Each structure stands twice: as structure tokens, then as C-alpha cells.
Chain A
Amino acid sequence: MKQVKLIEYEEPKTWADIPWATCSEAGILITKNAGWRNERPVIDPKKCIGCGQCYLYCPDGVISFAEGEVSIDYDFCKGCGICSGICRRGAIRMEEER
């Protein structure tokens, strides 16, 4: 239920730094990707009961919850609003990005 710990990406400098096949160690963060978001989901911790529905439904896997506490990774959230729609407690509202 934890997010994968990401490893900082370093640009290859020599031929040896280029992988020989299209495979490398998992969990290397190359770019962040959230630029097209118009609205952001915001969780109200008072209403949230930690049911995990938003975690299960998020198509981008950016919602994590540990020990009942839910958090959103805004570096990758595209603002689709599925989490807000699925939350039965109305604990996630969409706020306009500025």
C-alpha cells in the first residue's frame, strides 16, 4: 500500500551508461507529469474514513494510504476527478488550479 520509493535519474554520460537492452532498475524517476491538470482533488481528513475506494479507483496510482491516512501525489495526479466521484463520504472535492 506504500508508494514505490523513487530513485533520482541521472543523465547517461558514457556509452556504458546506456543500458544494453530496453531494461533498467525499476523505480527511477525520469520526469514528473501533471502539467495538464485543471482541477486538483483535495481530501478533507475530517470526513475521510480511510475506506481505500479512491486508492483502488485512481487510474494513475497516485493515491496512497498508510495507517488509515490518505495522500495524493500531485506530481503525477492528472485531475481526472474519479476519486472525488467515487468517495461515498464526499471527502474529496475538486479545486480549480491557479
Chain B
Amino acid sequence: MSDKRFLSGDEAFAEGIRLARPQVISAYPITPQTIVVEELASMVERQSLKSEFIHVESEHSALSCAIGASSVGARTFTATSSQGLLYMAECLPYAAGGRFPIVMMNANRSTALPWNIYGDQRDSISQLDSGWIQIYVEDAQEALDMALQSYYIAEHKGVSVPVMVNLDGFILTHTYEAVEIPSIEEADAFLPPYVTDNKMDLEQPKNMAFTVGPNLNMEFHIKHHEAMLTALDVLNESDQRYGKVVGRRYGGAIGTYHTEDAEYVLITLGSITGMARNVVDDLRASGVKAGLIKLRMVRPFPGDQIVKALGLAKAVGTLEKDISFGAEGTIYTNVNSAFLKNKRVIPSYNFIGGLGGRDITKEQLTECFYKLREQKEAEPIQYIGLAIKEG
């Protein structure tokens, strides 16, 4: 029987990890991720989770340690945020290229300078090319469910790639909601034990994490890339299986809301999605055919799915808490590339907001839809909620 409790996003994620029974946890605390590490440490202390909890001196060590544990066949977990993610950046492609199915929670937080501990998504988006699967969740319930499902996806034979699950800092990590926690029996029925031959083994000695020269190096990366693409289907498979066992489903790499007949569609990722759904409801009530696409997975990128979901829409806006300095929002770049590849011509706007924890209001989201409808602005890249206007 499942249990219902009042939990923050961080606490819910820790509950999901407990249910996945990782054999090794190595992590270093950083705001706003700290609660996950504290929760898991006390679960190990209270013996509600049987796991080696390894205290490390940095994030670089946290992921190095997880790679080591994974290379002997252990299910492993780590968590970080912002500068911590950047500090472990050297190890990210080691874990991914070594095909170690580690699961990591990242609390999305702004990166310095200017120094700031509040939420935006520039930390994880800066690491899109590291070879990790990237999932973004909307609320604490989805955080718990994806903590558990991430192991299914990461450890799937056709995938074997580490997964990073992203929670918006504070907005999601520190706010509380009622969360249903599956029973350990349900979790065990959903998630099989981790079995791999990509491990050090005294019976079958292996040459692990080796060098490959220019003659064959590219082939290894293509295999990794193809395994990543497989994760789009494996997410669907995981969702169906989870639905059967636990009774909750989210769909695949994108979630759609009223897109079937929508004229103006907003693309979101993370916690802002909930409010965007309310805005779509209000607009629909006043006769505006608004729609919403929630990106659940950013790597692999579900570009074809986005184009298909858009249907006959007249304009699309990509809302993101990210900017690639000197270019545009990175999600926007990815979305536009998908349009071009699918020969879909559509006015496409980029709404950049929420940097350094700046609040995004319901009114501002409504304004985004009106901008898509009017299309008066020549500039496709728009900033939401600037404190100081020009002039």
C-alpha cells in the first residue's frame, strides 16, 4: 500500500531513491540540494536504507566515487547543484562515455557571477553535451516517480547511460505538497536489480575505461549517441510499466496540454509548467486557443515529437530560464532546429526569464501568449520581467 505524506521536492526525491535501493551513495552538500543528502544520510543511519553512504570532500570526488562504485556493478546515486555540477563537469563525460548508469539529482540553481543561490536552469543546460540523459520534473510527485524511473531508464540494456534529474531550486526543492509514496513491494516489482557485464570482475577480468585512438574513437561516440536516442522509447516503456505497477503515468519525453487544436503554443520545462497550464485554462475561457508542451526530457531531444504535437499551430514560444550568452536560449536553438529538420515553417519566439531566481508571474505568461497572437514584436528573443525598462 502506498503512503501519502507532505514533502518538499528534495524529500520526495530522497524517498524515490530509497525505494530504488542504491548500494552506494556519494554526495557533497550544496544549497538547494542539501536536504536530499541529509535525508539519505539519516535513512542510512536509521537503517531504513541499506547503502554505503560515502562522505566525500568535493563534487568532483562525489561523481568520481560514483563512477568507481558503478564500475564494480553497484547501483549508485549522487546529487548536486550549480557550481557543484560545474566542479564535477570533468567527470560527467567519464561517467557517460564509460556507460555507467549513475542517477544524479541536480537542483537547478544559477551559476556565478553575479553570485546567487536561487533557481535558474543555466547549470544543467550548460552540460547538455556531456552525454547524460537530462530529465526535468514539474512537481514533488513527479520528482519521486522519476527518481525511481531514472534507474529503469539508465540501467536498461539498450541505454546504459547516466541520468540527471533536474528540480527547480527552491521553487521545487523547498516547497511542500502532498506526495504519494509507493510501497517498497511496488518499487521492487517495478525496478529489477542492476545486472551488467560492464564491471570489474575477478572471474572475468576486464580492461575498464580504456583509451581509444583516432582510428576507432568516433565509433564509440556514435554507439553512445544511438543508445541515448533509444532512451526516448525506453522512457515510454518505463512510464507504461510504472503506470501498471504504481498507477501513475506521465507520458513520454513531452507532455501536451490542449495542443490538439491550439493556435498558440508555449514550450516549458520544469516547475513553471503548472502555472502555464492555469494560464492556458484562463485563455481558453476567454476564447484564445492556447496550448502547452512540457519538455520532460531535453537529452535525448524529442524534436520530432514537438513538431508533431504542434499540429497546425500559428506560433510557438519557448520559455526558458537559460541564456547562451551571445546567442539565445539553448532550448530555443534546439526547438528551431527541429522545425527546420521537419520542414515546418512557424513563427518562433524565445521568452527568457527567471534568471537568478527572478519570479515569473501569471500575468507575464499570459502576455507571452498575447505576443504570440499579435506578433507585433520584430525581435524574436524577449526577456520576461526585467526590473529596469529601457529609457
Q: Is the CB of A20 within 8 A of B223?
A: yes
Q: How far is the CB of B374 from chain A (nearest CB, A)?
A: 51
Within 8 A of A (CB), among B178-207: 197-199, 204-207
Within 8 A of B (CB), among A1-45: 12, 15, 18-28
Q: Is the CB of B206 within 8 A of A22?
A: no
Q: Is the CB of B210 within 8 A of A24?
A: yes
Q: How far is the CB of B198 from chain A (nearest CB, A)?
A: 4
Interface of A is mostly: loop
Q: Of A12, A19, A24, which is in contact with the most chain B CB atoms at under 10 Å from its CB?
A: A19
Q: Is the CB of B206 within 8 A of A25?
A: yes
Chain A hits for B198, CB < 8 A? 20-21, 23
A24 and B97 CA atoms in complex are apart in Å by: 14
Which of these, A20, A24, A27, contacts B160 with CB under 8 Å? Answer: A20
A27 and B199 CA atoms in complex are apart in Å by: 15
Q: Does B1 contact A (CB under 8 A)?
A: no
Partner-binding segment picked from B81-89, B109-117, B212-220, B270-278? B212-220
Q: Is the CB of A28 within 8 A of B216?
A: no
Which of these, B98, B207, B223, B227, contacts A25 with CB under 8 Å? Answer: B207
Q: Is the CB of B97 within 8 A of A26?
A: no
Q: Is the CB of B216 within 8 A of A22?
A: no
Q: How far is the CB of B66 from chain A (nearest CB, A)?
A: 16
Chain B hits for A25, CB < 8 A? 204-207
User: How many of A's residues come within 8 Å of B, CB to CB?
Assistant: 13
Q: Is the CB of A21 within 8 A of B216?
A: no
Chain B hits for A22, CB < 8 A? 97-99, 208-210, 212, 220
A24 and B197 CA atoms in complex are apart in Å by: 9
Chain A hits for B98, CB < 8 A? 21-23
Q: Is the CB of B223 within 8 A of A23?
A: no
Chain A hits for B204, CB < 8 A? 25
Chain B hits for A24, CB < 8 A? 206-207, 210
A26 and B210 CA atoms in complex are apart in Å by: 11
Q: How far is the CB of A11 from chain B (nearest CB, A)?
A: 8
A15 and B224 CA atoms in complex are apart in Å by: 12
Q: Is the CB of A18 within 8 A of B99?
A: no
Chain B hits for A21, CB < 8 A? 98-99, 160, 198
Output the nearest chain A residue to B157 by Cβ-Cβ distance: A20
Q: Is the CB of B216 within 8 A of A23?
A: no
Q: Of A12, A15, A20, A28, which is in contact with the most chain B CB atoms at under 10 Å from its CB?
A: A20
Q: Is the CB of A23 within 8 A of B209?
A: yes
Q: Is the CB of B99 within 8 A of A28?
A: no
Q: How far is the CB of A2 from chain B (nearest CB, A)?
A: 14
Q: Is the CB of B99 within 8 A of A20?
A: yes
Q: Is the CB of B160 within 8 A of A26?
A: no
Q: How far is the CB of B214 from chain A (nearest CB, A)?
A: 14
- Top 7 A-B pairs, shortest CB-CB distance: A21-B99, A26-B205, A21-B198, A26-B207, A18-B219, A23-B208, A23-B206
Excluding A20-B223, A22-B98, A23-B206, 4 further A-B contacts by CB distance (< 8 Å) are A18-B219, A20-B198, A24-B207, A27-B205
Interface residues, chain A, CB within 8 Å of chain B? 12, 15, 18-28
Q: Could you give 15 example pairs across A and B, Cβ below 8 Å?
A: A12-B216, A15-B219, A18-B216, A20-B160, A22-B97, A22-B98, A22-B210, A22-B220, A23-B98, A23-B197, A23-B198, A23-B206, A23-B210, A24-B206, A24-B207
